[in-house]
Amino acid sequence: MKPLLVSIIAAVAALSAPLAMASAGASKEEAVAMVKKGVAHIKSQGADKAYAAFTAKDPQFVDRDLYLVVYGLDGKVLAHGANPKQVGKDLLELTDIDGKYFVKERVAMVKGKPAGAWQEYKFTNPVSKKIEPKVMYCEKHGETAVCGGVYP
């Protein structure tokens, strides 16, 4: 009877693994790839079309908890894949729950490391709707920061 029980447990685990993976958040590697895809889209389609696609939650730019945000280097939101109401707003003075000026830090970060860098802060996860630790990858493109983040 024990071998049968072990087989059943193994089968259940094997069937459950894909479901667990499907509900998991995006990875850091996926965030980097999404940002690079976003920058390529801006280059090929122009800023206006690309920003509209990012903000409209075009499926190629949204993956579970991963979406793109584009900031001008002045802190103004140019595109936001989770909250279109943020577009056009100056968020330079925005802080997270711990008082961290994350937009100000993000803009300074891309000015100093235009090839790409990671930032840690806390933000509302669009899937769980809870404030959670988040890591955001950003690259400088022209006078903008193109960013995508994940909840580790």
pLDDT in tens, 45-76: 999 999 999 999 999 999 999 999 999 999 99
pLDDT > 50? residue 22: no
What pTM was computed for the model? 0.83
- Given the candidates 3.30.450.20, 3.30.540.10, 3.40.50.10330, 3.40.50.300, the CATH classification of the domain at 25-150 is 3.30.450.20
How many other CB atoms sit within 10 Å of the CB of residue 126? Answer: 15
Mean pLDDT of 90-113: 96
As a whole-number percent, the residues of the chain with pLDDT over 90 amount to: 78
CA 89 to CA 95: how far, in whole Å?
14
Check residues 92 and 6 and name the one with the higher pLDDT. Answer: 92
Mean pLDDT of 30-55: 98
Is residue 68 a contact partner of residue 55, using CB atoms and an 8 Å limit?
A: no
CA 55 to CA 79: how far, in whole Å?
5
Is residue 135 a contact partner of residue 152, using CB atoms and an 8 Å limit?
A: yes
- Under 8 Å CB-to-CB from 34, ≥6 apart: which residues? 26, 61, 63, 66, 68, 148
CA 33 to CA 30: how far, in whole Å?
5
